[in-house]
Amino acid sequence: GGIIHKSTMSSGKNNSSVLENYNVITIGDSVVGKTSMLMAFTEGTFPIHHMSTLGIDTSSKAVTIKKNKQVKLTLWDTAGQERVRSITTNYYKNSDAIVLVYDCTQRDTFESISSWMTQIEEHASKDVFKVIVANKIDLDDQVIDKTEGESLAKKYGCPFFETSAKTGQNIDELFKFVATHVVSANLFIKKKEPNKKDERFSLDSFNNEGRKMRRKGWLRKLC
């Protein structure tokens, strides 16, 4: 579930107002469009030339949910290559939501979702919010239809989205949905266990991990 983290992003209307921050990680095989999805969401652009993420990229955006509440999503874009999975799994345990992405024109990326789920079970919090996303639905050569994607999501008890990073279809809706859920989950946890200290997340430790990876050349900050 979502945990409130203090961030330094102001709401714009009032500089003294600090937004709650939630960490969202995108995972999936290389070339499924994770980076393009995040660029579509944060910048409203689609990259002309593909560049594989080398380790972890970070970006952020304020999102307005119900009752005009604004929260900040810090978005962690992970590399899909097998050789760096041990690096990226370090970030799973501190995430509020994980977005699993496959390319609906490449069956192997769809079949890889099960191995990504295994990694989540091993490294993430048991109550982390998960969403399965079929990307590239603008393309004609789809080999996985919506029904098959929905069946996979149902198997894992996850919501399912179809998106196109190129056209922007459902991109904003996806991340607004994620933001709404993690905020609701956080409020539920606070009501259920108001005095419980969250031992899962430390902003300092999260940033320290990032600094270590940046020194090693794994982490690149986008904004």
pLDDT at position 216 over 90 = no
CATH fold, domain 5-97+111-130+167-194, is Rossmann fold (3.40.50)
Other residues' Cβ atoms within 10 Å of the Cβ of residue 112? 19
Each residue of 193-215: pLDDT tens digit?
655 544 444 444 445 555 555 55
What is the structure's pLDDT at 36? 93
| Angstrom distance (rounded) from CA 55 to CA 34 | 13
Please give the residue that has the higher pLDDT: either 187 or 112.
112
Ranges of each domain in the chain: 5-97+111-130+167-194
For all residues of the chain together, what is the average pLDDT?
A: 80
**66 against 11, higher pLDDT:** 66
- The CA R_g of the chain, rounded to the nearest whole Å, is 17
Residues near 134 by Cβ (< 8 Å), separated by ≥ 6?
Answer: 102, 104, 110, 144, 146, 149, 160, 161, 162, 163
When pLDDT is averaged across residues 120-145 and rounded to a whole number, the result is 96
Segment 120-142 mean pLDDT: 96
Quick one: average pLDDT of 118-142?
96
